């Protein structure tokens, strides 16, 4: 068998392997379970916690607590707090979609980890 045919077979085998690996990684990412965020509180912490039952209350959460949500970085957390301060808090979890830079994707990633309760 000439060398170029053997090289072609190796290339085809490598491409098939890469394709199957990509499909596996995609399936793994889609199957991941959204685990609620939990934050340990100190004994002297506020009684109306920002994190209750594994859910982050976006009306009282600190920047540190908001950053723990999937897809929300420091800038997103600051924007959530700015929006909350400017609009008097969130009336529903869906309102999080209105925050610039956070939007629908972060909301969908964290739907089960978000709570909306009145602040103190």
pLDDT at 48: 47
User: Phi and psi dihedrals of 52, rounded to 5?
Assistant: -130, 135
Burial class, 86, CB count within 10 angstroms (exposed 0-12 / middle 13-18 / buried 19+): exposed
Where exactly are the structural domains of the chain? 1-32, 51-115
pLDDT at 2: 67
Specify the CATH architecture of the domain 51-115.
Answer: Orthogonal Bundle (1.10)
40-96 pLDDT tens trace: 554 444 444 555 567 889 899 999 999 888 888 899 999 999 999 998 888 888 888
Q: Give the integer Cα–Cα distance in Å for 98 and 117.
A: 18
pTM exceeds 0.85: no
């Amino acid at each position: 068998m000439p060398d170029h045919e053997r090289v072609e077979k190796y290339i085809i085998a490598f491409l098939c392997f890469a394709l199957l690996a990509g499909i596996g990684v995609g399936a793994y990412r889609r199957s991941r379970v959204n685990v609620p965020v939990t934050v340990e509180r100190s004994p002297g912490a506020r009684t109306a916690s920002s994190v209750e039952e594994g859910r982050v209350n976006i009306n009282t959460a600190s920047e540190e607590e908001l950053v723990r949500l999937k897809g929300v970085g420091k800038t997103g957390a600051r924007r959530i707090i700015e929006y909350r301060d400017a609009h008097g808090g969130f009336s529903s979890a869906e309102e999080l979609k209105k925050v610039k830079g956070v939007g629908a994707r972060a909301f969908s990633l964290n739907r089960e980890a978000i709570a909306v309760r009145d602040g103190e």
